């Protein structure tokens, strides 16, 4: 618990309405988008400007109080889960777009600005911000940077790290870092890439300069149905091999298709095992040529039905089903557990078969929805947390999926981050020397381990403990060690 004296100091830094301490005010912040992990924060701070953020960090540094930064709370890895004895620093009130430069194609925004709000603000200039996570209507740009978010169009336009130019960020000691610039290259280490995806463990971001792109002259999507998931997986690689780089290349299996169609009536065929959505964009002639190639590849790959969107309305309808897949699947079971691994495209058929086999082994249904073009899987494991043991069973199943991703040459996360959810699988992904270097980087920014402690990078004893639990049949060999 935080001391009354410390809370009094916080209240001197912020207006009364920006310090939440009553239980009923704290409950909305007890989890992020991964609601299976919950912990009520001791205090929630809602600074309204950068100076207040810096003052909070300096005080917490002086008093050795941990800080967990939070954006919109849409994350799916428990990265913003509050911890006991810490401050939850919510950046939602820093939500101003500070500048738009149509000629330079940049915008300067605060971390609480919604992803979609950037594109809405620059639409009059025929520009947009490319990364488009499924939660883009709600997620904030600060959280996108912290997790290096992607979206359905990341295959062609890249992740967050490829679409930002500069950051203003504050260390736990209250030191301002101005990282990056608007030129194509810069001297020194690439600290912009280091902070992007660092999950709030190195610094707190208060300003982001993003790249803007001109809206393409034309965008068109092809929908293809398959009678076999493996065939659809193989078609993904075939499209790329044919020389087409789609703006978006998404895949859903039967369970996800049926859920999405019932939810938004996107016009999806229901008599298939898998569905591919392939969007190409650019100038008219380029799009026409790519559509011709894509249709030919899909037909040769065994598609049983191929449709090309004939209007912008139909294109948006096709995408509406994919964008709504997560909430749609949420109607199929009391709970679902969303995984986020990435694999080489060539491994898609094998991995999808193994997930199907593991689904039978664990007795839990899985709906597969993913960014097929870059191999970013989102298996949704259906379960009922009210049934004893089902949450633990779902977590174990999810862990095996992530270990399978590593086994085939992939990674344990594509865009959701590690947070607390995947911290054990970091021990599978990285060796002890590699994890030690991660800790060295953390210490360079935050030697007292006050920023988001216990997330993303496991302590080395945790990896030893986790390995021992596998060896000793799930028995905890060192109960005295902190869990995180």
pLDDT averaged over every residue in the chain:
94
pLDDT tens-digit readout, 349-383: 899 999 999 999 999 999 999 899 999 999 999 99
* Confidence class for position 187, pLDDT limits 50, 70, 90: confident
pLDDT tens-digit readout, 229-245: 989 999 999 999 999 99
Kindly state the tokens that stand for 42: 């001791």
63 pLDDT more than 50: yes
CA distances from 26 to 46, 55, 132, 454 (A): 12, 22, 30, 21
* Domains with residue ranges and CATH for the chain: 4-90 (3.30.43.10), 97-214 (3.30.465.10), 218-327 (3.30.70.2190), 333-407 (3.30.70.2740), 426-471 (no CATH)
Strand pairing partners for 451?
Answer: 67
25 pLDDT more than 70: yes
pLDDT tens-digit readout, 382-417: 999 999 999 999 999 999 999 999 999 999 999 999
């Amino acid at each position: 618990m935080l001391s009354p004296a410390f809370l009094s100091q916080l209240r001197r830094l912020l207006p009364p309405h920006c310090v939440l301490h009553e239980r009923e005010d704290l409950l909305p912040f007890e989890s992020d988008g991964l609601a299976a992990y919950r912990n009520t924060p001791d205090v929630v701070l809602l600074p309204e400007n950068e100076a207040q953020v810096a003052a909070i960090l300096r005080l917490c540094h002086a008093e050795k109080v941990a800080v967990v930064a939070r954006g919109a709370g849409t994350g799916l890895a428990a990265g913003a889960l509050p911890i006991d004895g810490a401050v939850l620093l919510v950046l939602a009130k820093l939500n101003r777009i500070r500048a738009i430069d149509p000629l330079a194609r940049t915008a300067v925004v605060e971390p609480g600005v919604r992803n979609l709000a950037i594109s809405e603000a620059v639409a009059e200039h025929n520009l947009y911000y490319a990364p488009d996570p499924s939660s883009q209507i709600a997620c904030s740009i600060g959280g996108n940077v912290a997790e290096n978010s992607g979206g359905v169009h990341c295959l062609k336009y890249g992740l967050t790290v490829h679409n930002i130019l500069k950051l203003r960020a504050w260390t736990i000691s209250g030191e301002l870092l101005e990282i990056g610039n608007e030129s194509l290259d810069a001297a020194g280490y690439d600290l912009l890439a280091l902070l992007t995806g660092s999950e709030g463990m190195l610094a707190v971001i208060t300003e982001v300069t993003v790249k803007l792109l001109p809206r393409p002259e034309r965008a068109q999507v092809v929908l293809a149905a398959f009678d076999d998931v493996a065939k659809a997986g193989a078609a993904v690689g075939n499209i790329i091999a044919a020389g087409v780089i789609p703006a978006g290349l998404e895949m859903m299996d039967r369970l996800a298709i049926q859920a999405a169609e019932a939810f938004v009536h996107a016009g999806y065929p229901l008599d298939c095992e898998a569905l591919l959505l392939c969007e190409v964009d650019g100038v008219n002639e380029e799009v026409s040529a790519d559509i011709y190639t894509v249709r030919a590849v899909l037909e040769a790959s065994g598609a049983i039905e191929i449709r090309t969107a004939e209007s912008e309305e139909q294109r948006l309808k096709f995408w509406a089903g994919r964008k709504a897949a997560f909430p749609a699947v949420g109607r199929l079971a009391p709970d679902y557990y969303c995984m986020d691994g990435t694999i080489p495209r060539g491994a898609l058929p094998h991995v999808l078969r193994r997930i199907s086999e593991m689904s039978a082994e664990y007795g839990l249904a899985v709906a597969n929805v993913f960014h097929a073009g870059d191999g970013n899987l989102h298996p949704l494991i259906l379960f009922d947390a009210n049934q004893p043991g089902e949450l633990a069973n779902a977590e174990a199943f999810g862990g095996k999926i992530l270990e399978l991703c590593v086994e085939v040459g992939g990674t344990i996360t594509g865009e959701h981050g590690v947070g607390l959810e995947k911290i054990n699988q970091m021990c599978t992904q990285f060796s002890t020397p590699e994890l030690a270097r991660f800790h060295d980087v953390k210490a360079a920014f935050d030697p007292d381990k006050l920023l988001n402690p216990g997330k993303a990078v496991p302590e080395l004893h945790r990896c030893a403990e986790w390995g021992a639990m596998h060896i000793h049949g799930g028995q905890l060999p060192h109960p005295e060690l902190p869990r995180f």
